[in-house]
Chain A
Amino acid sequence: MRRIQKKFNDLKKRGDKALVAYLTAGDPSLEMTKELIMDLDEAGVDILEIGVPFSDPTADGPTIQAASQRSLQRGTTLSAILHMLETARKFTEIPIVLFGYYNPIFIYGTEQFAKQAKKSGVDGILVVDLPPEESRELRQYTDRAEIDFISLIAPTTSSERIGKISRNATGFLYYVSITGVTGTQKPVVSDIKKEMKRIREQTTMPVVVGFGISTPQQAAEIAPYADGVVIGSAFVRLIEEHGDKNNFVNIICSYAKDIKISLRNR
């Protein structure tokens, strides 16, 4: 069974919800990203999204934009990220989803990318600017490599389209809880409750909620309606603030633990 599916099955059995953490690869360094993957696994994070930095991240707010810039300035490449993940995979079984924009993958070569991602233990990909209509050119290779194709659903997505997207997706669905870019607004719980009902009518796939969740309280409020929450900008902000300190891994892991505790039994 694929790691992502197994993870959601296990969580369901325990009555638990997934904590999905996002890190921009290469911020503050690829070496630290690798360490954080293993430490966050131990801290209780269920799924890791590893952001592939892009020069023009049009779906991201200022926090992740800045992290992408920092990472690119250090010379981070998709190839180096895949190499790092190959090493990390030897030490952890945590499901890993690559999150990013299409161009770096397209330039790497779609077929080559799918092969190397598989070899590196990547379990899923979420390509922000690759809607179902354009996804075939990549999926013909990632499907064969048994890499899940995670798709976004937005508040603006019609019910009919939710059906279409969920039939096209594998692994899980990612509900974008705000009409906006990452980390810029606070999601409204009553809206999420309503929207999740609309999504559940169309699909039985696991659905996680993200974009704008940053506190344990928010996570706890949203968890009853979702199969998990994604925390992105908040982790990236902590890394931005504390990345140069000796105890920064502890700061990040203790934040992850707080969120995870808030999710249990929700």
Chain B
Amino acid sequence: MNARLPDKNGHFGIFGGRYAAETLMPALIELEHAYAEAKKDKAFTKEFNRYLQEYSGRETPLYFAERLTKKLGGAKIYLKREDLNHTGSHKINNTLGQALLARRMGKKRVIAETGAGQHGVATATVAALFGMECEIFMGAEDIKRQAPNVFRMKILGAQVTSVTSGTDTLKDAMNEAMRHWVSRVRDTFYVIGTTAGPHPYPAMVRNFQSVIGKETKRQILKKEGRLPDVLIACIGGGSNAMGLFYPFKDNHDITMIGVEAGGKGIATGMHAASISAGNIGVLHGNKTYLLQDEHGQIKDAYSIAAGLDYPGVGPEHGYFQSTGRARYVTVDDAEATEAFLCLSEYEGIIPAMESAHAVAYTMKLAPTLCKDKIIVINLSGRGDKDAGIIAEKLEVH
């Protein structure tokens, strides 16, 4: 399984591929070639790294969470602090890479879909940085739920387009972004925010995000003189998890755990656990695990964390699941909320509700492991945006 994946048509085993309308195929092939060339070009990599350093503030710290470790009384817990990136999450790693590529391809206009608004903000930010026109597609329902991020995008000069088709959430925003891309494909670059979509997006986003895992490897070797035992990350589309996991994939002693959103409980049907509770299908250009009914119609995802609220998952996670390279578990809204508060109280770090899912699973796992084991959590984003939701919840209880 060490062959380099994806294959030339974008397949990871049976997953991935390029299931796209013909109007987009030439653009996807053009993107694939442009990206392959850029990847070989040392100047491109150098510039990408410079922006990561000087603009986003990398490298991000690998922080030993001492009080949390003591409280849980088991394995040592480290936090990879992606929340300390410019714009407050790991999303900027990818948008910087794609915007540099867009500029290289001569595209003056970028579009993106967004759910919670983190990817929208990260895209609007790089569009401002490089002087590009920017349009963000966001479900009408999410625009209401995530007003502060809508303001941020507008301040950054982006046009925010409200999507009212379907259920007005992330998958519909992605549908609309794809329709728009079909219509403006000649001058527009579509910045997909996660390791999903048609080839080459899943591999390209993974590669831009794998700076997370590469840094972690270096940092933990320096601090502990060895590699960690367990990596834990939350999974919506799966970009922060893949960014952490990928550089460790050939270190077979390391357990990799992806935490999906269990929402109100798998049994209620209100969740976003595509791997744990979905099955294989084709959506948004790739074959992967999806939430769908028995006739192949896509179901709505639900999670307290808007960034996990997507009925699919990146195809490489499907592949990791099928080979057993990574394990996928779920954490529900209540557990994530408890973890959100716990990390805030014990470490003075307010995590994004998305990242709180990874913390919540760690709270279950760490006490069962010996004290000499090491867990690294990808703390993918900061939680200021979620303060309102939590405040509302606390009043209810």
Which chain B residue has the least Cβ–Cβ distance from A66?
B165
How many residues on A have C-beta within 8 angstroms of the other chain's C-beta atoms? 45
A40 at interface (Cβ–Cβ under 8 A)?
Answer: no
Which chain A residue has the least Cβ–Cβ distance from B176?
A58
A103 at interface (Cβ–Cβ under 8 A)?
Answer: yes
- For window 280-298 of chain B, which residues contact chain A by CB distance below 8 Å? 281-285, 290, 292, 294-298
Given A133-B9, A133-B18, A104 contacting B182 (CB threshold 8 A): no
Give which listed residue, B166, B178, B186, contacts A179 with CB less than 8 A.
B186
A99-122 contact mask (Cβ, 8 Å, vs B): 1 or 0 = 001111111100000000000000
A131:B18 contact, CB within 8 angstroms: yes
Residues from chain B with a CB closer than 8 A to the CB of A179 are: 23, 182-186
B179 at interface (Cβ–Cβ under 8 A)?
Answer: yes
B26 at interface (Cβ–Cβ under 8 A)?
Answer: yes
A154 at interface (Cβ–Cβ under 8 A)?
Answer: yes
- For window 178-194 of chain B, which residues contact chain A by CB distance below 8 Å? 178-179, 182-186
Q: Which of A85-93, A155-163, A194-202, A234-242 contacts B (4 or more CB under 8 A)?
A: A155-163
Residues from chain A with a CB closer than 8 A to the CB of B21 are: 58-59, 128-129, 131, 152, 154
Measured between alpha carbons, how far is A72 from B314 in the docked complex, in Å?
27
Given A78-B295, A103-B298, A179-B23, A129 contacting B183 (CB threshold 8 A): no
B179:A158 contact, CB within 8 angstroms: no
Decide if the interface of chain B is mainly helix, strand, loop or mixed: mixed
**Closest beta carbon of chain B to A78's beta carbon, Å:** 6
Give which listed residue, B26, B179, B281, contacts A58 with CB less than 8 A.
B179
- For window 341-397 of chain B, which residues contact chain A by CB distance below 8 Å? none
**Closest beta carbon of chain B to A233's beta carbon, Å:** 14
A219 at interface (Cβ–Cβ under 8 A)?
Answer: no
A163-187 contact mask (Cβ, 8 Å, vs B): 1 or 0 = 0010000000000100111001100
Measured between alpha carbons, how far is A97 from B295 in the docked complex, in Å?
20
Residues from chain B with a CB closer than 8 A to the CB of A184 are: 183
**Closest beta carbon of chain A to B397's beta carbon, Å:** 35
Residues from chain B with a CB closer than 8 A to the CB of A205 are: none
Give the interface centre of B186, B281, B282, B294 by most chain A CB atoms within 10 Å: B282
**Closest beta carbon of chain A to B299's beta carbon, Å:** 8
Given A54-B297, A103-B283, A104-B295, A180 contacting B19 (CB threshold 8 A): no
Residues from chain A with a CB closer than 8 A to the CB of B284 are: 56, 58
**Closest beta carbon of chain A to B120's beta carbon, Å:** 19
Which chain A residue has the least Cβ–Cβ distance from B23?
A154
Give the interface centre of A57, A72, A180 by most chain B CB atoms within 10 Å: A180
A106:B281 contact, CB within 8 angstroms: yes
Given A106-B281, A133-B9, A179-B186, A77 contacting B295 (CB threshold 8 A): yes
Which chain B residue has the least Cβ–Cβ distance from A54?
B297
B25:A134 contact, CB within 8 angstroms: no
Given A58-B175, A129-B19, A156-B185, A103 contacting B282 (CB threshold 8 A): yes
Residues from chain A with a CB closer than 8 A to the CB of B179 are: 58-61, 181
B22 at interface (Cβ–Cβ under 8 A)?
Answer: yes
B298:A56 contact, CB within 8 angstroms: yes
B140 at interface (Cβ–Cβ under 8 A)?
Answer: no
Number of chain B interface residues as a range: 35 or more
Give which listed residue, B22, B185, B292, B296, contacts A78 with CB less than 8 A.
B296
B17 at interface (Cβ–Cβ under 8 A)?
Answer: yes
A214 at interface (Cβ–Cβ under 8 A)?
Answer: no
Given A130-B19, A134-B17, A72 contacting B297 (CB threshold 8 A): yes
A153 at interface (Cβ–Cβ under 8 A)?
Answer: yes
Give which listed residue, A56, A134, A154, contacts B171 with CB less than 8 A.
A56
Measured between alpha carbons, how far is A128 from B282 in the docked complex, in Å?
12
**Closest beta carbon of chain B to A139's beta carbon, Å:** 14
Measured between alpha carbons, how far is A176 from B183 in the docked complex, in Å?
12
B282:A165 contact, CB within 8 angstroms: no
A15 at interface (Cβ–Cβ under 8 A)?
Answer: no
A176:B295 contact, CB within 8 angstroms: no
Given A107-B292, A180-B183, A131 contacting B175 (CB threshold 8 A): no
Residues from chain A with a CB closer than 8 A to the CB of B254 are: none
Measured between alpha carbons, how far is A264 from B354 in the docked complex, in Å?
61
Measured between alpha carbons, how far is A161 from B185 in the docked complex, in Å?
17
A55 at interface (Cβ–Cβ under 8 A)?
Answer: yes
Residues from chain A with a CB closer than 8 A to the CB of B20 are: 129, 131
Given A56-B283, A72-B297, A102-B282, A157 contacting B26 (CB threshold 8 A): yes
Q: Beyond A58-B178, A59-B21: 15 further Cβ-contacts under 8 Å? A: A56-B166, A56-B298, A59-B182, A65-B165, A77-B295, A103-B282, A103-B296, A103-B298, A129-B21, A129-B282, A133-B9, A152-B23, A154-B23, A156-B185, A181-B179
Mind listing 18 A-B residue pairs with CB under 8 Å?
Answer: A55-B297, A58-B21, A59-B23, A61-B179, A103-B283, A104-B296, A107-B281, A107-B296, A129-B282, A131-B18, A131-B19, A131-B25, A151-B22, A154-B26, A156-B23, A156-B186, A157-B25, A179-B23
A residues bordering B, Cβ < 8 Å?
Answer: 54-62, 65, 69, 72, 77-79, 101-108, 128-131, 133-134, 151-158, 161, 165, 176, 179-181, 184-185
The 7 closest A-B pairs by CB, nearest first: A107-B296, A104-B296, A154-B23, A180-B183, A152-B22, A55-B297, A103-B296
